[in-house]
Structure 1
Amino acid sequence: MKKIMDIDKSLRPRERLKNEGYEVLSDEELLAILISTGSQGKNAIELSKDILDKFSSDELISITVEELCEIEGIKLAKASKIIAGIQFGRRLSERILNKEIVKIKSSNDVYKLMKNKFLDTKKEHFYAILLDTKNVIISKELISTGDLNSSIVNPRECFVVAVRKSAKSVIFVHNHPSGNSNPSKSDMLTTNRLIDAGKILDIEVLDHIIIGLDEYYSFREENFI
């Protein structure tokens, strides 16, 4: 094993980050900085390569401590650093995107805004995006979380926060863990119930969007709403 300290100082990941910027670093080198130290038999860069060879980008987004610790040389401390780094970066990306999309102009805006929330889940999550009179986002509210096959949606729960925050309209969003975004009969029934409830409360349901794997279904685009 060639230790990091055995590598020419100018070629070590930390020094390259400082002197050349993060853009020049490979994924292995960036991950090696998070890992910080190697283990018996492998340096930090080699450990990083083992991780990236075993797990895809999609898998790393939702990686667990237990899964990382399957890699020889990765223990709790290193696994925790990796997960913290990944999730912190993810949260920053979401916050930046939220700032960019403050006004909903299309179903695709909703898809871009919400798709990352469903990358690491095997359950259905049902959200309400509350909007003001100019379609500017007031807030995003998690309404319910279902089991592996379904999400229980109660119209009362869907609108209680909208009423409290004086929303003029609402867009509902939920995911299909199967990856197929086509609506089920239950989805269609739920959408009808939500539209009817919105009319009573004078809160317009602008859309109901189902997010699958790299795709979405919009009830408005399909002229269901």
Structure 2
Amino acid sequence: MKKHYSVAKEELVFYGNENTSLQNVLAMLIGPKAEPSVTGELAGLGAKTLSSMTAEDFKKYEGVGELAATRILSAFGLAGILNKFSKEERYVVRSPEDAANYFVDLAHHNQEHFEAIYLNTKNQVVARKNIFKGSLNASLVHPREVFREGLKVSAASLIVAHNHPSGDPSPSSEDIQVTKRLVESGKMIGIELLDHVIIGDCGKFTSLKEKGHC
């Protein structure tokens, strides 16, 4: 008897991405250890519930290890990004969680990426810009580079974010220093820094606004 993974792979090739079941997609993501009873139970939860689960939640199921859990999280992260950019309406940021979800793709980089999104008066994202790649240093994050794009698109506010490749989103003294510098610059320029979000792994993040630094 063929393993669940092999059957799912064949059906995916035969029926195509659009017509395969969520259960088969999960089997492909879990790999050769996938059991139909497990993928069936997970599929029964629905895509919405699965997209809100953590790696630890997935690892409670038989055959789902660290790598498989990461694959599933990555798949839902990519789906969220594609869905975000396929919508005609602009993404609205109402909370630190919204900002973290927008920047979820940063979690997959193996070096630090410092980026900014620029918002209008309705907190809709009107632009996104990569400021630099590499270890975060206050001297590299010059307010001129951060706010230049904001002035171009007449932004009312902005949110910056960067990832910690270690997976731990705890802020460093350098992170706090950069945040305070941008807050002061924003006051002078007239574009408010709403938050600085640090992205970790497995959906973890830290909002420096919630920490009182914005």
CA drift of 1:25 comes to 5.4
d(CA) in 2 for partners of 1:15, 1:124: 36
Q: Which consecutive unaligned segments of at least 5 residues does structure 1 have?
A: 32-47, 63-85
CA separation of 1:172 and 1:26: change in aligned 2, threshold 3 A: same
Q: Tell me which residue corresponds to 2:38.
A: none
2:214 is the alignment partner of 1:216: no
Paired residue secondary structure (1:119): helix
- Higher RCO structure, 1 or 2 (CA under 8 Å, sep 6+): 2
Residues 61 and 120 in structure 1, CA contact (< 8 A), matched pair in contact too: no
RMSD between aligned residues: 3.5
Cα deviation digits, residues 160-190 of structure 1 (max 9, x gap): 1111111110111111111111111111111
Q: Mapping of 1:127-142 within 5 angstroms?
A: 127-142=115-130
Give the count of matched residue pairs.
Answer: 172
Structure showing greater Rg: 1
In 2, Cα distance between the equivalents of 1:204 and 1:195?
7
Residues 156 and 191 in structure 2, CA contact (< 8 A), matched pair in contact too: yes
Q: Does 1:58 pair with 2:70?
A: yes
How many angstroms apart in 2 are the aligned matches of 1:196 and 1:59? 40
- Which amino acid in the other structure matches residue 145 of structure 1? K
TM-score, scaled to structure 1: 0.63
Matched, 1:173 2:175: no
State yes or no: 1:94 paired with 2:81.
yes
Q: What is the identity percentage for the equivalent residue pairs of Structure 1 and Structure 2? A: 30
- Structure 2 match to 1:114: 103
Question: 1:26 aligned to 24, 27, 30, which one?
Answer: 24
Give deviations 1:91-148, integer Å, cap 9, x for gaps. 5531313548711111110111111x1232111111111001111110121111114x
Q: Which residue of 2 aligns with 1:41?
A: none
- Please say if residues 107 and 163 of structure 2, whose CA atoms lie closer than 8 Å, have aligned partners that are also in contact: no
Give the SS at the match of 2:194. strand
Could you tell me how far apart the structure 1 residues matched to 2:164 and 2:22 are? Answer: 37
